[in-house]
């Protein structure tokens, strides 16, 4: 039997993860250092300290951004 999954959008792309995943867990899945990125959940910024306690739920829109070259 398949474990329950959550369907979310990360940086504009649909993704599926096992239920119960936190935002910190999401970053770990992409091998991202939480100190090097900023996370937005449904348009609201989630502080680094809160990433671990914040679960992702089906329908969530997640944005993960960082600094790139610019003028």
Partner 1 sequence: MSLASVRDTPLTIAGRTFRSRLIVGTGKYRDNATMVAAHDASGADMITVAVRRVDLDRTKEAGILHHIDPTRYFLLANTAGCYTADDAIRYARLAREAGFNEFIKLEVIGDQQTLLPDVAELLTATQVLVKEGFTVLAYTNEDLVTALRLEDAGCAAVMPLASPIGSGLGLLNPYAIRTIKHRLSVPIIVDAGVGTASDACVTMEQGVDGILMNTAIAEAADAVAMAQAMRQAVEAGRLAFLAGRMPRREVAVPSSPVTGLLT
Q: CB of residue 40 vs partner 1: minimum separation in angstroms?
A: 7
Is residue 17 packed enough to be buried (19+ CB in 10 Å), middle (13-18) or exposed (0-12)?
A: middle
Binding-residue total with partner 1 (CB under 8 A): 23
- According to CB under 8 A, which residues from 7 to 66 bind partner 1? 10-13, 30-32, 36-38, 40, 43, 45, 47, 63-66
Q: CB of residue 49 vs partner 1: minimum separation in angstroms?
A: 11
Report the C-alpha gap between 32 and 1 in whole angstroms.
30
């Amino acid at each position: 039997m398949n474990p329950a999954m959550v369907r979310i959008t990360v940086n504009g792309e649909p993704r599926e993860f096992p239920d119960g995943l936190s935002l910190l867990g999401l970053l770990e899945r992409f091998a991202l250092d939480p100190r090097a990125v900023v996370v937005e959940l449904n348009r609201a910024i989630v502080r680094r300290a809160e990433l671990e306690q914040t679960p992702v739920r089906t329908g969530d829109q997640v944005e993960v951004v960082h600094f790139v070259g610019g003028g």
